[in-house]
Structure 1
Amino acid sequence: MGPAPAFFFASLFFTPLTRLLSQLMLPMNRLARGSSMLGRRAYSQAKDGFSIKQRALPTTTSIKYSIPQDPFLLASKFRDVARNGKLDDAVAIVMQTKTRDQSVVVWNLVINEYAKIGRLGRALRAFTEMRKRGFKPTPTTFTALLKACSLSDSANRAQIAGELFDMMDRYKVEPTLINVNSLLMVYQRNESVEPLLACFNNLPTEGPLAPSLETYTTVISTLRREFMRLLDGKQPARSAKDASTFVEARRHALNRQNLYRSFEAIMDVWTSFVEDVRHRQQGLARDTEVLMVDAKIVNMVLKCCHSIYNENRSLGRRGFKVVEDVYGLDKSLAPGKQGPDAKADATPLVDLLSEQLVNSDTGLTAINTSTVDLVLTLCSRDGEVMKAIRFWRRLMLSHRDMVQPSKLNYASYLNLLHLRLEKFAIL
């Protein structure tokens, strides 16, 4: 037998063997590539990647109900049963209804009810059941899912929230600012500072996705929590030369550096907020709602300035700039009025937004008694009695319609005046 016939018979033998080996190796290759998915069979579908247990939705009711044959009636039935504290029965009614009698509104109701009680696994399962029936998710769907993430105790809630937000593009759903704020709330509760800042920094300065007051409040609140965590965990203040070891001195320096960076991040967001308020009020941002000022966000920043004061007086004094931005401390301006050469950038925010604040039905207030106490306390700590006098004068003449000072506010102000008189030996 020549070499050619030998090659021919060898190929007949090895070709089936090669195919068999390749077929055996194919699942092994898939398993190797998808090794990270091992053990998730009892969880979510692999294509979604939600690493949380999704139990089946209830399909039986505790009592017999009539099954609606209309999407509107089904939504009404679901609300009534769920309102009576029988959520499992309400969901079972939906599961028993034919697909043609369901709607995306009904499934959004199901997801939202689970979201209210933080049942993230059930909310995701309802999301899966909705898509199985051919209903396309809407922005309301993702808002409810993100709410479920924020109220859930799952350790993976931040990761799942990010995946849900990215999934909106797959279903060609345009994100809304409500979706963005819901995502930021998840990051806030999870104390995920880096993804929160990444999401915030990617927002446009104008248009429907421009940051709102809620957006800025969530971001600053999260940064303040991180700042307070660093402050509470910082080693007792001591100089490097007094440290027992070089390692201890280095750790102290790094802790202080991280603390300062955290404070600067808060002030950077605050500066962006002030600039954003002025920008929109001047009509320079197209298709963008006016950005209001609330005492809550002002108080958070002032509290940070108080907290950093003992560590770094210069940083703590930046609280005066916050007060000047919002309420005004410039002695060249009369209360409630601007000088002829005053720049628009120097106008206090409460003066720019005076009409909106008075006519607003949102319940927002630009100043409260806590704000007054924070300002007067800062003036007292820094010995800035004249700033306190100018602030109090503006408060009495221009902002009495926003806040009525408390007895504690009056006591603090009178104490500052007493210190002023003692300084000049009048008393």
Structure 2
Amino acid sequence: MFHGSIPADLRSIIYEHAESWPDTDLYVGCSGNFTIERTLHSRPGERRAIHGNDVQAYSSALGWWLAGRELDYRLKDEHREELAWLEPYLATSTDTLATLMLGTRFLQYVGREGVYYERMVRATVGQFPSMHAKTVGKLSALTLRLADYYCGDVRDYLRDVVAADAPVAMFPPFYAGDYEQQFAGIDEFFDWPAPSYDLLDEDGKEEIIGAVLDRPHWILGLHIARDELRPWLRGVVQTSNRGMPIYVYASSGARRVVAPAQQVAPILLPKIGPGEDLGDRMAIHVLTGGQFAAVRSQFMSKTILPGSPLLACGVSVDGKLVGAFAYLPPKFDPSTAYLMSDFPVSWTRYRRLAKLIVMAAASREAQLLLQRSLSKRLTGWSTTAFTDRPNSAKYGRGIPGVKLQKRSDAAADGIHRYQLQYGGPLGNWTLQEALAEWKRRHGKDERR
């Protein structure tokens, strides 16, 4: 029901530290989805009053409701006609909160042109009565209540509201635009008593940290290591390989380290050797999550963050593994699957083996596996490439039907110059046809 969450291991650290705090009111800054508040409230026999704070529309609706206050959220005049069907679901504060929570899922489709967006809105309207009733039921079952909620800049909150000796817990969003990018649909379609605040610059971040440190009891979670805070480092939480670590600083308490343990499994196929010739019979093999994780960690670029695929397959030629690929469900076009990963065995003598893996991923056999996974027809694929060149060597040339759809400068990964969107048809050739075409176009390009 709540969007997003700080990791369970970080919640456990907060839970543990709260035991040593004095019997006074507890204050949380940058409440977000109120995970910290729910963690504190879940302690057996917890009777201390809990206070929350945030600035965004979604969090403020939750905070005011948890504090027992009325919600003043109304549809904007320019959107009343297209969202008139929502009016019956804004009758009470609980109704309004349930609508806003559901709105974070569907408001992104409202007012946009295209068959996909129109279909999503129609489906939402048809299912909304039951979804709304279920959400109201879940809200009614919540036992967490706040003593108060402060809607405003966390710096003002720490300076003017929080008692000097009160325990403070915070996990602030220290990246530019975090508040503005989250739940933007509520701000677009609803009027609400939004606070005024300054975006966090470097001085603002330092002010927040200083205001927290100047207290007897506190815990602070950051996405970056701070050398000056090292004496107060009480934990490091990293929940997945290559995932972003969270550094936990606190006034006192035990030290904890949480490291990821990736589950891997062997692929029971030999890999093609460095000097071996490529054979004549290509096949694809559905991989388990552990098998894909193992081969991905061995061959995929370490700068690419891992994900959980809908479908992962190994590619073999004459029984030797030559690479792997993985798909996610369609993102925008409902008939286009998203190719999240594709990579070859790196040590072969074939310079363009990566193109063969892409061609296998676009084969008729791969299309059938994808359609079976989603129970729907798929006719295309798309992917994203990060590179310092304006075109991708892997997708750019030599694969029939592949086109560059978009080029962005600079790339979102913060490492490369360009972010390139490629796509192509799905199912235009069989695996054997793909292998024959690859050998004709690329098979003679070998490392010397």
Normalized per residue, the structure richer in strand is 2
Q: Shorter-chain TM-score: which interval?
A: under 0.3
Normalized per residue, the structure richer in helix is 1
TM-score for the superposition, normalised by structure 2: 0.26
Between structure 1 and structure 2, the one with the greater Rg is 1
